[in-house]
Structure 1
Amino acid sequence: MKHGRNLPKLGRKAAHRDAMLSNMAASLILHHRIVTTKQKARALAPFVDRLIQTAKNGKKSLSARRLVARQLYSPEAVEKLFSDTAPKMSDREGGYVRIYRLGRRVGDGAETAVVTIGMATIKVDKKEKKEAKKHKGERPAGYDRTKDEEIFLEKAAAKSKTAEESAEEAKAS
């Protein structure tokens, strides 16, 4: 009997929750990043951390593979965990999973997050960053300021006409 298991329920029965976490963990191991809700991400992080720790400690032991395979139903994910992910994490002591908040989902307003395995951090090339800084205030080639000014003046004139028309209608009524 597992005493003191304080897991978030996530609005699911225990079997459904376990299957969902297993599937999400397999996807995370195979793809190195997934997008999910913040609550599911917070439930997934310790689950995947334990799997990686087991894979690291039992590098080539069959019992460790079986322990992980009992949690992950995907043989491809188990193979990738032992051959690729765990060896890359050998220098880290923990905190293999990172959670980055994204914002709210359009359909239902749920808070979303990106879950990544520590080696798959979100990277920006230094060259791209320098290029972006270098060209920050510059206009693109062939840019004609007079066209932008004409468009702006046309929009301003249209706004003023509608404002005048609404004022005249208010006076008339």
Structure 2
Amino acid sequence: MTRLFLGLGSNIEPARYLPLGLSKLEALLGKMRVSPVYEGAAIGFSGAPFWNLVIEAQTSLSVGELQSALRVIEYAHGRAKDASRFSPRSLDIDILLYGDVCGVVDGVVLPRGEILENAFVLRPLAELAPDAIHPGVHKSFSELWGDYDADSQPLTPVSLDGS
């Protein structure tokens, strides 16, 4: 089994689509740990704010098998198959880390570059797994978050259950 981290995001009915995505991921992966959820501005385009979170799980699926399964979940929950990278989405699921793999596997770049670039990925990852080490830069996620300019991409905690 391989330890993995996935990033989930939505800016179209996020209170609806993120729980649906989590339910499907639990069916696919089994037991998961889930980070807090944060709202932040859309990056790269003008659009509604995104809600983002990170999950940790274990899998026996290969990177390619996992990527294919994630696309099926996204498409079943309203993601357009021709959606551009910088566009609104009901459900976006990205492989952030797959074990300690560094490089391109089955067309997926690992670890995902957004970990080091975007608060909406790094903050929930640092809260979920503060002592885990980024395999590319060999620093813990809590260290990376401590070094990050959090004011550059403000985040607001939100609750999926409406509380």
Q: Which range, TM-score by smaller chain?
A: under 0.3
User: Bigger radius of gyration, 1 or 2?
Assistant: 1
TM-score if structure 1 supplies the norm length? 0.23
The structure in which a higher percent of residues are helix is 1
Identify, as 1 or 2, the structure richer in strand: 2
